[in-house]
Structure 1
Amino acid sequence: MNILLSAAFVLTWSSGFIGAKLGAGSASAVTVLMWRFLPLAVVLGLVAATLTRAAWRGVSARDLGRQALVGALSQSGYLLTVYYAIQLGVSSGTTALIDGTQPLVAGALAGPLLGQFVSRTQWVGLGLGVTGVAIVTAADFAEGGDTAWWAYLVPFLGMFSLVAATFLDRRAPRSMRPAVSMTVHCATSAAIFTALALAARAATPPAEASFWVAIAWLVALSTFGGYGLYWLILRRSGVTQVNTLMFLMAPVTALWGALMFGEPFGVRTALGLAVGLAAVLVVRRGAATPRPTAAVEAARPVTRGSERPARRVRSGR
């Protein structure tokens, strides 16, 4: 995995938690999310109708339905819980910390669902990453303030939503071009959040300039940057590699939140950052060629000239 690409992904994905904090100060979660996706969906729709029409050739209604479901899980379900948790008073760093448990869930499911082998070294790295997350989580809980205890459970719903979207996309018969998937995902989120905002009578945007600054931040950095790079790295390097980078989101967001909002960042948070970095290095070193299962081998097409005579096996008798 390209180091610069990974670094860009970590920074832009972490920017989403900061943008959510910026928007939470001037409007409700559904208002911010509606105006984040509605104009973007219109622009992407116009681009699809003019500049990227060729990318849509051969895309079936079933493909669109699958991508709409992926978008509903990975954007709508994930972001709504993140924004709602921050609105309830959970700090941006703590929200990112809870999402940091995603690699363990994804790594555990990659084998049985996708047939992707996770080596022992990678499991050590994943465990190391969870340790780093636990260290920073302990520091943040110590400064929890008056936030209700159940508010810390909300981001877990978003984490599972993103994991479900990831595996749903990876099990698709064929992958969609980024121009297609991004447009469908954003259009789905725009429809969901607009409906929620209208139902809550929160569709009118506030007049504060800070609201539109947050919207521009979220569209440029979080959607095109973080969200786009997530699917790009996922298709280039696999579930385990991209999800391991999630271990870095929590400490990076905690540091960012400390600089911008004065959120606490102490020695334990710094230690968690160091452990998270070590976890990424261990998993990258432990990357191994996937071991194809019998089902994968049976489904693999045989190319011309690749047939080999069956090897004689001695029975030992």
Structure 2
Amino acid sequence: MTISPDLTNASQSPPRRQRRPWHRAVPLPLLEAGLVLTWSSGFVGARFSLDYAPAFLAVFWRCVLVTLLLTPLAWAGLRRASPKALLHNAGIGLLAMAGYLCGVVGGIALGVPAGLAALVADLLPVGVALLSVVLLGQRLPGQAWAGLAIGSCGVLLVTHGALALGHAPLWAYGLPLLGMLSLAFATLWQQRLGEGAALGPAVNLWLQCGVSALAFAVVQSVQGGQGGLSPLPTAGFALSVLWTAALSTLGGYGLYWVCLARAGHTRVASVLFLSPGVTLLWGWCMFGEPLSWAMLAGTAVSAGGIWLVLRGQHG
């Protein structure tokens, strides 16, 4: 019996090498730079959206749009995922997106000054560190704690000019804090699941936006308002939804989870200490808001805090 040369070559051909995911090929500092740029765009986008639509109507359509855009990319992964993995990642999405945005945006809508809400939200690295100690029993070296303290001082320097108490109900001031802690808890939950339970960036973000869209639909319906969940036929509303969907959600949240899969939660969260300074640059470019030496100095202080955190983790 003779064997065909074609069959012999086929049997001896080397296995096909799997293509490396794009986010594994990109250097981590470059991903983190993109994270800071897109994450900070969310505060500018939220301010822009409030001029054209109720806050939760805009975030509802932002989540709907991202879900629709990601469906072709996520469909195959959703079919392969186990029900347990889907439930875990849906819970993470509710905390990270719906919980965080309801706390921060809801506080602003009730009268908490935007600068104060942003300051609390920008303390995410401290929230992540504290929860990791309290809930997971992890220990951070003293150098890392010093970096977190210095980074927080930098955030305070950047935002101090926009701080005010406002006239919101007393309990409303706790909403931004709860929103920040919600994202911090989701960050630790995602890291604890590890690579084995990860569904991939597209599937994760699709699931998070899907469950968050349902949550925001409920919140918007409870709040009432003329038109319900119908999109507003204005160019401003369309632009605000496109801005926050593309930059804040696909860019910000997408890169947040991608970076978290590559590095520890303390490092990824601490990088966001630079977000207030970059947010001010967004405001200067888009709204002509003034910059000051104190803002620039605060950003430099935050950068020094991040450097200490990274040294503390590698020390």
For Structure 1 versus Structure 2, the TM-score category normalised by the shorter chain is 0.7 to 0.9
Q: Secondary structure at the match of 1:287?
A: helix
2:218 to 184, 195, 201: 195
Cα distance in structure 1, aligned partners of 2:258 and 2:166 = 39
CA RMSD across the alignment: 2.5
Q: Which moved more, 1:85-94 or 1:175-184?
A: 85-94
* In structure 1, C-alpha distance between the alignment counterparts of 2:106 and 2:94, rounded to whole Å: 16
Give the aligned partner of residue 239 of structure 2. 213
TM-score with structure 1 length normalisation?
0.80
Mean Cα deviation higher: 11-20 or 154-163: 154-163
List gaps (5 residues or longer) in structure 2: 1-26
For residue 175 of structure 2, what is the amino acid of its counterpart? Answer: V
Q: 1:196 to 1:89 in 2, by over 3 A?
A: closer
One of 155, 160, 167 as aligned partner of 2:188: 167
Write out aligned runs for 1:34-183 (5 A): 34-49=60-75, 53=76, 55-56=77-78, 58-88=80-110, 92-111=114-133, 113-114=135-136, 117-141=139-163, 144=164, 146-148=166-168, 150=170, 152-172=173-193, 174-176=196-198, 177-183=200-206
Match of 2:17 in 1: none
- What is the CA-CA distance between 1:73 and the residue it aligns to? 0.6
Which string of whole-angstrom CA distances, capped at 9 and with x for unpartnered residues, describes residues 271-316 of structure 1?
2112111111222233227xxxxxxxxxxxxxxxxxxxxxxxxxxx
The 1-side partners of 2:295 and 2:167 are apart by: 20
Please state which structure has a larger fraction of its residues in helix: 2
- 1:310 alignment counterpart: none
Alpha-carbon distance in structure 2 between the residues aligned to 1:109 and 1:191: 27
1:106 and 1:26 mapped to 2: Cα distance?
33
Residue pair 2:28, 2:259 contacting (<8 A) in 1 also? no
In the TM superposition, what is the alpha-carbon distance from 1:204 to its structure 2 partner?
2.1
d(CA) in 1 for partners of 2:259 and 2:44? 22
| C-alpha displacement of 1:113 | 4.2
* Secondary structure of residue in 2 paired with 1:148: coil
Question: Could you tell me which amino acid in structure 1 is paired with residue 184 of structure 2?
Answer: V
Give the TM-score normalised by structure 2. Answer: 0.80
**What per-residue deviation string (whole Å, max 9, x for no partner) do you get for residues 67-113 of structure 1?**
11111110111112222334445565543321122211212333464
Gaps of 5+ in 1: 290-317
Choose 150-159 or 220-229, whichever is displaced more: 150-159
What amino acid is the match of 2:255? L
Match of 1:8 in 2: 34
Shift of 1:217: 0.7
State the number of aligned residues. Answer: 283
Shift of 1:32: 0.3
Q: Distance in 2 between matches of 1:257 and 1:86?
A: 18
- One-letter amino acid of the structure 2 residue matched with residue 75 of structure 1: M
Distance 1:88 1:220 in 2: 27
